[in-house]
Each structure stands twice: as C-alpha cells, then as structure tokens.
C-alpha cells in the first residue's frame, strides 16, 4: 500500500490551463463518472472513526477529497491508496482523534472544511484550518454557531472565515438545533460533533437535505433516527458515543458530475449515452427531475442498492427542451447543479425561472452572478431578480463565442464547456485546472463521447 499524491500548498496551482470547447456532433457511448464527492468525504471521515480497517472502492480522487484524506491522516487515522485504486482506512475509534502537528489545508473544499469542523468540535483537540483563496472567502459562521453551543471554541477571521482555530469540547454537550436554512453541511457538522457527545444530538430540518451522513453513520453501525412532522419538517436524532465498526463500501458515481454529460447529450441532436453506476438518492436528483419536466428523455435502468445508497444506470437521448419554473423548495436537492441547468435553460424553448438561489452566492464563487454573466456573454438573455434566475431560452440557437472567467470554481467551468459543445461558436474558459477539484479527466471523458475540448490555441500556460 502507498500514500496518495502529494498535495500542492494552499492557493491555486501555478499551472493555468485555458480550455476551449468546439461545437460537436452527436455523443455516443457508455461512461462512468468519478465517485460521489459528498459520499467520498464522509466515507473517509467515518471510516477514520471506526474500529478496524475499512476498504473503500470508487472513491473520488479529485483534489477536494484528497485534502480530506490528508486531513484524516493528520488526525491519526491510517489512510492509504492501493495499487488497484482502492483505499484502506484504519480507524482510531470515536474519541481517538489525535491533535494535528501542523495546519490542515483544505484547498478549495468547503465540504471538507465544514464537516471537519464538526468532527473536531466533539473531540478535545485543537486544530488550525486554512484553504485556498476561494475557500478563505467563504463564510463558516453558520457551521460555527451550533458547534459553539456544543462547547467548541472557534477563533476565525472577520465574517467567520478561514484561516481559523478550533478547539473541540472536552465535555461536549448534546443539543437540539434548528437549521436556519436548508444545509446538509451544517446538519452533518452537528451530527459529526454529536458522535463523541453523550446522549442524543438532534437537528430539525425545515426542508429535507441530502442524507448521506445519516446513511453512512448507520452503515458503520451508529444509530440515527428520523421523524417527519405533518408539516414536512424532519427531526434527525443521533445517539452519541456509539462504537463504529469497519464496514467496506463502494462509492457510487456522482450525480453532480453525471449532469454535465447528461445535459450535453440532451442538447446535441442524435446523441444517446449511458452513464453507469450513478447514485440516485431522491435528495440528490432534483436536476434530473427538472430536466424530465423540461422534456428530457432520461431513463433509470438497473436500479439497485450499494453501500446503503440507491444506484442506477442513466440512459440519455437528445431531446428538445422547454422552459419551466423550478420551485425554491427543490434547491436543496440540486444546489450544485444550477450552473449546468442554466446552460440547458439557455438552449430550451421559452423562459425558465429558477427560484430561491441565494445559497449560490456563497459557493466557491458567487455562482448566481457568474452564471448570469456567462450566459449573457454567450448571447442568452438572463436576469437576476432577488434570489431568482430568469433565463430566456433560444430554442437550441445559442451564439457562444465567449471566454468565461472561472474564478476558481469548477462547476461553472464545466458547464460553459458543455455550452461550447452545443453553441454556434466555441466557448473558452480561462483556466481548466479548477476542474480537478471534483472531476479529474473531465475533458478526456467528454472527448471520448465525441466532444471537442482542447487547450486554447495560443494561450500562455
């Protein structure tokens, strides 16, 4: 067994890789996308708290997840990558995390930073967390607030931003916490803190959010109960201080990554592709529900359960899309997919209104502004009205011809490369390096289906 790659220091890679996507013909083929990023983070963290050795297959090996692997190693777990691509994690048990000897650098990973804060908050150790320029701009206050109630101490920059120091509670106190906004990351941070807390730690959700943490805690032998009220609220309760045991698992393909190939296939006439082994957790596939409402030909085949998560193969055929209204309450089920949905909306017939997107303002970039700005530069009329995004679709006739600033954000970068595949003129992005955060090999995979993504001619590296 060998350790994974050596990670670069905080900040952006010294290599800048402008990419250009040329108009393409029909896409054909069967593909697998990288493992689910949300599940990969949680698998490494919970395996590190289990007794014994867990083998993980299908782990996403993007920069975000590699940062979490390095963080768990710094906290005392033995995390190694095998020659066949599998990973082994020898856990330290709940309460067994060690104080790291150096600053933990999470790179661009907001999920890694926020969940790690929760883990540390329930252990009596001190850690210092930082990240790249994008992550240091993102607020951590909404995670810090419930962790302070549990007994952690947190010192951060103005606005609750990284770098920060966190000292976990020596005697953590169980709490019941009502989420002020729907956030799986805040919910997960509280539950992870509750693992080393006596008694019951509870989170009240006004709207359902992705439940990977609850499912995975159960997979490793913990107890999480969920009660739903008549009004639709959920009470998620964790029983603290369980003994988690090693439990091998396979990470399904990431539906957020599958979204890019799916939308490209829908937009390019004559396309038919199959994306294998995709997680279809109902709290993650709001995008596919929306695309089907828009007229997409998407079928779920070979449905099964793997590692506690529902999985299927997706078959996607080119379709003429129409504009729809996407309700705000759907946002938690597809918050990472709005950049690529906006591209689909630009090619649809009629107006698409996406409501309640305020959360996009505090992602890796201000995605709401970035999406609107990029679509306008590609010739699509777009408007922001409060927290709503309004796109006037051009019924397949998008001019393109723009260069998009990625602002260290992987999802808009990939979304506008998809735009270039279906537009009249190529679309370029100023830097493709950020895509490795979640989807290493993206351009090669899309080109294998028939795409035409390549380094921008004449661009300085």
Q: Which residues are catalytic?
A: 336
E strand or H helix that includes residue 249: strand 249-250
Provide DSSP, 371-385: HHHHHHHTT--EEEE
Upper half-sphere CA count for residue 204 (Cβ side, 13 Å): 10
3-state DSSP assignment of residue 111:
helix
CA distance 254 to 16: 26
Upper half-sphere CA count for residue 195 (Cβ side, 13 Å): 37
Please say whether the beta carbons of 301 and 313 come within 8 A. yes
What are the CA-CA distances from residue 221 to residues 103, 217, 244, 245 (Å)?
Answer: 31, 6, 5, 6
CA distance 317 to 272: 4
CA distance 47 to 72: 10
Per-residue tokens: 343: 């591209």
Answer whether the bond into residue 458 is a cis peptide, omega within 30°.
Answer: no
Please say whether the beta carbons of 206 and 213 come within 8 A. no
| Residue (of 120, 115, 230, 228) closest to 167 by Cα position | 120
| Residue (of 60, 82, 45) closest to 250 by Cα position | 60
The dihedral formed by the CA atoms of 340, 346, 349 and 353, expressed in degrees to the nearest 10: 70
Please say whether the beta carbons of 321 and 246 come within 8 A. no
Provide DSSP, 146-192: HHHHHT-EEEEETTTEEEEEEE--SS----EEE-SS--HHHHHHHHH
CA distance 17 to 432: 5
Find all residues with CB under 8 Å of 197, minimum gap 6, and list them: 122, 150, 169, 172, 173, 174, 240, 241
The dihedral formed by the CA atoms of 332, 333, 334 and 336, expressed in degrees to the nearest 10: 60
């Amino acid at each position: 067994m060998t350790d994974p790659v050596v990670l670069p220091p905080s900040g952006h890679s010294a290599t800048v890789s402008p990419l250009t996507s040329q108009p393409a013909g029909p896409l054909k083929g069967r593909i697998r996308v990288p493992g689910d990023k949300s599940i990969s983070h949680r698998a490494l963290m919970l395996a590190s708290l289990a007794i014994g050795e867990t083998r993980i297959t299908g782990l996403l090996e993007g920069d975000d997840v590699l940062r979490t692997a390095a963080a768990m190693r710094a906290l005392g777990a033995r995390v190694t990558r095998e020659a066949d691509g599998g990973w082994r994690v020898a856990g330290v048990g709940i309460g067994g995390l060690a104080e790291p000897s150096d600053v933990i650098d999470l790179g661009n990973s907001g999920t890694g930073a926020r969940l790690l804060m929760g883990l540390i908050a329930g252990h009596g150790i001190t850690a210092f967390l930082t990240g790249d320029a994008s992550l240091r701009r993102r607020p951590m206050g909404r995670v810090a607030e419930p962790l302070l109630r549990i007994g952690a101490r947190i010192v951060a920059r103005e606005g609750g931003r990284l770098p920060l120091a966190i000292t976990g509670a020596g005697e953590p106190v169980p709490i019941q916490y009502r989420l002020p906004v729907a956030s799986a990351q805040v919910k997960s941070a509280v539950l992870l803190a509750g693992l080393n807390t006596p008694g019951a730690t509870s989170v009240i959700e006004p709207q359902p959010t992705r439940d990977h943490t609850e499912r995975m805690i159960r997979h490793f032998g913990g107890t999480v109960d969920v009660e739903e009220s008549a009004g639709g609220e959920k009470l998620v309760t964790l029983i603290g201080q369980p003994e988690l045991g090693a439990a091998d698992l396979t990470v399904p393909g990431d539906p957020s990554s599958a979204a890019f190939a799916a939308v490209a296939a829908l937009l390019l006439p004559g396309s038919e592709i199959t994306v294998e082994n995709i997680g279809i957790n109902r709290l993650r596939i709001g995008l596919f529900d929306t695309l089907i409402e828009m007229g997409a030909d998407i079928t779920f085949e070979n449905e099964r359960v793997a590692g506690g998560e529902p999985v299927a193969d997706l078959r996607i055929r080119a379709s003429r899309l129409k504009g729809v209204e996407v309700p705000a309450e759907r946002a938690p089920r597809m918050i990472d997919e709005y950049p690529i949905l906006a591209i689909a909306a630009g090619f649809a017939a009629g107006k698409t209104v996406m409501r309640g997107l305020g959360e996009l303002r505090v992602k890796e970039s201000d995605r709401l502004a970035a999406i609107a700005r990029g679509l306008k530069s590609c010739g699509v009329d777009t408007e922001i009205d409060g927290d709503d995004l309004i796109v006037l679709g051009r019924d397949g006739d998008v001019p393109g011809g723009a260069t998009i600033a990625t602002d260290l954000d992987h999802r808009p970068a990939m979304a506008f490369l998809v735009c270039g595949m279906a537009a009249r003129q190529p679309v370029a992005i100023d830097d493709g390096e950020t895509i490795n955060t979640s989807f290493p090999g993206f351009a090669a995979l899309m080109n294998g289906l028939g795409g035409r993504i390549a380094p921008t001619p004449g661009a300085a590296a």
